[in-house]
Structure 1
């Protein structure tokens, strides 16, 4: 049987880098593709690659705001592997300024558009160009049912956020980030419908990692209780547990890090 292939988009730091570490450590047969905007500056990825046999970890340049980059990445993966079992879209930005808007007067068109491009449009384009490869996957991630008609070939994981839930929003603020994650959740839902029409299907899920100790959330750590601020390793372990249990009943939904379903 061919080795499983996973691709982590936005892998140079934070959750993306930890997803790479997790798969390399816990999936010894898997081959890994890690993408980021500037591989030359990705010291963490270079260190991971140096610590594993040649070919185990492939690092590719990918700026999700440039569709030509996405297309070129898909071409490279097609040429080198011919299929894909898991795609995790991690790259995200809180806001170009580094802080979410606290009120309407802080909103700018540039800020909203830039955040939407990275957090929602980019992952959708990555899914567009990699979906043909996921449809050729071997179903190595997730839980396969006994019924042949319900089996899946690949899994798409979009790293979302609880603040993207419209039903859960009682505080307001953070216009760009909330809107981008709500849009990403809609993309997940749409993808799950379209890619479930194929046999075998591709499963799609949005996951909220909790508040993780990364550069994105660091400006707000003082407002987070210590027991609610997670290390990246813990967050990824929890999310991969959800991925390992994913099946056709759960596709197209959003889940908290602890496996509870998030309202749209």
Structure 2
């Protein structure tokens, strides 16, 4: 085999191409002023409100918004018309890892780093497919597996594939000291807080999300990566997810999307390294596991 000398121009070109494909190349990415944020599950509800808040409250920050069907995401498309240079919309289905990998590749090519990841997708009910179980007799294997796949497995796979870019970004370009992964969970996922039972699929899948997130936070800390993972309970928010179940919500406990997201962003923006692995309610109070 003929080896090129180290000073040969073709050797330098090959080396650069090889280096550009390596996982560490993103660590040399530019420092994006205002940071780069990603909201997964951004076509409606809390996810869409997060995208809107990030764009309107950080005039230099860039936002990547992902959803299953970008062409039908009218709310995102309206924001794209207003914030064309700072909003990137990508297709991502948490039940299809190929789309997660493709989104990660697009982020690598366009930005090279990431400072904030919000996993906002989630399912509670689907007419004629998945209904909250008020009794054990209504539990179906298909419902349990589907809720687990969307609410727990998907967000963790997203973190897995975006890990290199969160590590490269850290807190650079933002006022935060580290990159933040914020997984939208729910108080009903707390085992210690469970006094009513029921809602088996939703509760169990959110509990699984909590444990997986805690695992990831421990690993990031052990590796001394500049990333923290937190779990957030948004309260009961007036969205399509909660709408069929709002009848019994106490007065004053049904929040607007704007109110909830503002509260959650305050937690995210004030998160410190010591908050890694914690589970917060919308008002900043920690929730028991």
CA distance in 1, matches of 2:247, 2:174: 36
Q: How does 1:20-39 map to 2 (within 5 A)?
A: 20-39=51-70
Contact conserved, 1:141 with 1:155, CA < 8 A, in 2?
no
Residue by residue over 1:115-164, the C-alpha shift from the partner in whole angstroms, topping out at 9 and shown as x without a partner, is 100000000000000011000014055743xxxxxxx3x11000000000
Task: Please tell me whether the aligned partners of residues 164 and 178 of structure 1 are also in contact (alpha carbons under 8 angstroms).
Answer: yes
Counterparts of 1:145-164 in structure 2, within 5 Å, are 152=178, 154-164=179-189
Match of 1:107 among 139, 148, 163: 139
- Give the CA deviation at 1:201: 2.2
Please report how far the alpha carbon of residue 187 of structure 1 lies from its aligned counterpart in structure 2 after TM superposition: 1.3
Closer, same or farther: CA 259–132 of 1 in aligned 2, 3 Å: same
CA distance in 1, matches of 2:120, 2:95: 14
| Structure 2: stretches of 5+ with no match in the other structure | 1-30
Is the Cα contact below 8 Å between 1:142 and 1:246 reproduced in 2?
A: no
Which stretches of structure 1, 4 residues or more, deviate above 2 A after TM superposition?
Answer: 95-99, 140-144, 197-201
| Other-structure match for 1:119 | 151
Match of 1:212 in 2: 237
8 A contact 2:125–2:241 mirrored in 1: no
1:84-119 per-residue CA deviation (whole Å, 9 max, x = no partner) reads 000000000003445311011111110000010000
Q: TM-score, normalised by structure 1?
A: 0.94
Matching of residues 157-236 of structure 1 within 5 Å: 157-236=182-261
CA distance in 2, matches of 1:183, 1:138: 26
What are the ranges of 5 or more consecutive residues in structure 1 without an aligned counterpart?
145-151
Q: What is the alpha-carbon distance in structure 1 between the residues aligned to residue 186 and residue 117 of structure 2?
A: 18
Scaled by the length of structure 2, what TM-score is found?
A: 0.86
Q: Matched residues in 2 for 1:98 and 1:118: separation?
A: 12
Structure with bigger gyration radius: 2
Classify the secondary structure of the residue corresponding to 1:252: coil
The answer (yes or no) to whether the contact 1:211–1:230 under 8 Å persists in 2 is: yes
